[in-house]
């Protein structure tokens, strides 16, 4: 009978994960090329597109490094290949780490580390299947209703104005839920968030000065990094 170690170190699993990641990368490249082509047709200049790509790449580094921390933590309990796969597709850092730690007790293990040491192949199979199906609920909405959801808030339709109000409503609800939670739940979170906001405002002011327009491409990435570093200061002061 195969053990968890046979599966997580399996060349077959590695080959399937590599195949999947190649597909995801190809899908992203096709999306990028199609969007770029349409952007040029719409009159968006090649330089503007290049700025968007560069800024997106730079902006993605820090959140991706946070996901790497999740990978390091998850690899200890689920193996590198499976963790690499799960964090590269659909899943989120929080979901994957939570579901892995929640599943261990239901199978009679105190921790995910114990699961890694003692689980049979079948037990690890339960984890693999549940992690794979766990986040599918969103697709049950996105695939059949995504087009309807997007067109219902499309501002280019014009109309009587309700679509404009509805469109802003989703973003404002997101802010109305997250911002009070971040500001009230935890003092450090509040300080980090306010730091990010202030740095973004200051950078925005600088970016309006002559010759400083390039700064616009780095406002979000820069303020996010400063805010994260400020967490070290706040946690040491208070």
Partner 1 sequence: MSKKNYTLDPFQAWAHRWGRIGTLIALAYMISIPFIVLNYYNCMPSMGSVFNVATFGILAIYIPVGISEALSYTPLMGASSYLGFITGNIMNLKLPCAVNALKIAGKEANTPEGDVVASIGVAASSIMTVVILTIAAALVSVISPIFELPAVKTMSNYLLPALFGSMTLGLFSSTSAGSKVVVGGLKGVMPVIIIVSVIALANRILNIMPGTTLMGMVGFLILAMLPVAIITSRIMWKKGKIKVVDKEEA
Q: Footprint of partner 1 on residues 93-132 (CB under 8 A)?
A: 93-95, 98-99, 102-103, 106, 120-123, 125-126, 128-130, 132
The answer to the question of residue 149 lying near partner 1 (CB under 8 A) is yes
Q: Footprint of partner 1 on residues 152-211 (CB under 8 A)?
A: 152-159, 161-162, 164-182, 184-186, 188-190, 192-201, 204
Going residue by residue from 12 to 51, which x/- string records binding to partner 1, judged by CB under 8 A?
Answer: xx--xx-xxx-xxx-xxxxxx-xxx-xx--x-x---xx-x
Residue 110 burial by CB count (10 A; 0-12/13-18/19+): exposed, middle or buried?
exposed
- CA dist., res. 202 & res. 223, Å (int): 9
Among residues 46, 62, 205, 212, which is the contact residue for partner 1, using CB under 8 A? 62
**Radius of gyration, CA atoms only, the chain:** 22
Name 92's Cβ contacts closer than 8 Å, sequence gap at least 6: 135
Among residues 9, 117, 138, 205, which is the contact residue for partner 1, using CB under 8 A? 138
Among residues 60, 111, 117, 212, which is the contact residue for partner 1, using CB under 8 A? 60
Contact 98, 125 (CB under 8 A): no
Contact 227, 199 (CB under 8 A): yes
Among all chains, which residue has been given the structure tokens 């994260």?
A: 228
Minimum CB–partner distance for residue 114 and partner 1 (Å) = 17
- 31 SS3 class: helix
Among residues 78, 115, 116, 219, which is the contact residue for partner 1, using CB under 8 A? 219
The answer to the question of residue 146 lying near partner 1 (CB under 8 A) is yes
């Amino acid at each position: 009978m195969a053990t968890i170690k046979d599966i997580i170190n399996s060349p077959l699993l590695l080959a399937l994960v590599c195949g999947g990641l190649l597909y995801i990368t190809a899908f992203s490249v096709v999306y990028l090329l199609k969007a770029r082509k349409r952007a040029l047709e719409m009159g968006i200049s090649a330089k503007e597109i290049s700025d968007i790509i560069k800024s997106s790449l730079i902006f993605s580094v820090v959140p991706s490094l946070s996901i790497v921390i999740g990978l390091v933590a998850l690899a200890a309990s689920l193996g590198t290949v499976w963790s690499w796969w799960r964090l590269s597709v659909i899943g989120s850092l929080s979901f994957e780490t939570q579901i892995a730690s929640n599943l261990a007790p239901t199978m009679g293990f105190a921790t995910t580390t114990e699961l890694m040491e003692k689980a049979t192949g079948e037990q690890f199979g339960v984890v693999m299947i549940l992690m794979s199906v766990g986040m599918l609920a969103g697709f049950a909405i996105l695939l059949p209703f995504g087009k309807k959801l997007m067109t219902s808030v499309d501002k280019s339709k014009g109309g009587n104005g309700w679509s404009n109000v509805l469109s802003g409503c989703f973003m404002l609800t997101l802010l109305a839920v997250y911002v009070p939670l971040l500001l009230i739940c935890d003092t450090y979170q509040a300080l980090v968030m306010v730091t990010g906001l202030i740095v973004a405002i200051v950078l925005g002011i600088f970016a309006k000065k002559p010759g400083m327009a390039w700064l616009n491409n780095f406002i979000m990435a820069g303020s996010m990094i400063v805010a994260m570093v400020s967490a070290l200061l706040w946690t040491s002061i208070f």
